[in-house]
């Protein structure tokens, strides 16, 4: 049991490092990727805490959170690239 508590602490430390990169990142893409890394580490933390608490249903929550994190990251990256979430601009809308 103690090894899982140490794992949870290590995940929290890595989340703190990713948070510092999100704040200090030189570009917006660095910030987006660090927020995505925070989301991924949060999924791991949910799984470890679920195991420590004896609640296997936390794995379902972790799975849903990982899907939301993935789709959210794609949406933010698409918004930064195209300026909209509708889709690509056609040739006629470009001018």
pLDDT in tens, 35-91: 999 999 999 999 999 999 999 999 999 999 999 999 999 999 888 888 887 766 556
In 10 A of CB 47, how many CB atoms?
21
Asked if the structure places residue 11 within a domain, the reply is: yes
What are 26-36's pLDDT values in tens digits?
Answer: 998 899 999 99
Asked if the structure places residue 89 within a domain, the reply is: no
Asked if the structure places residue 14 within a domain, the reply is: yes
User: Which residue range is the domain that position 26 belongs to?
Assistant: 2-84
Cα(81)–Cα(28) distance, rounded to whole angstroms? 11
Structural domains of the chain, count: 1
Asked if the structure places residue 79 within a domain, the reply is: yes
Asked if the structure places residue 77 within a domain, the reply is: yes
Asked if the structure places residue 91 within a domain, the reply is: no
Asked if the structure places residue 80 within a domain, the reply is: yes
Q: Among residues 9, 66, 74, which one has the least CA distance to residue 40?
A: 66
């Amino acid at each position: 049991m103690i090894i899982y508590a140490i794992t949870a602490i290590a995940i929290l430390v890595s989340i703190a490092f990713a948070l510092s990169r999100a704040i200090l990142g030189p570009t917006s893409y660095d910030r987006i990727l660090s927020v995505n890394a925070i989301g991924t580490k949060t999924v791991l933390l949910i799984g470890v805490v679920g195991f420590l608490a004896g609640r296997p249903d936390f794995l379902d929550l972790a799975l849903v959170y990982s899907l939301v994190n993935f789709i959210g990251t794609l949406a933010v990256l698409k918004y930064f690239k195209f300026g909209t979430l509708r889709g690509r601009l056609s040739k006629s809308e470009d001018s």
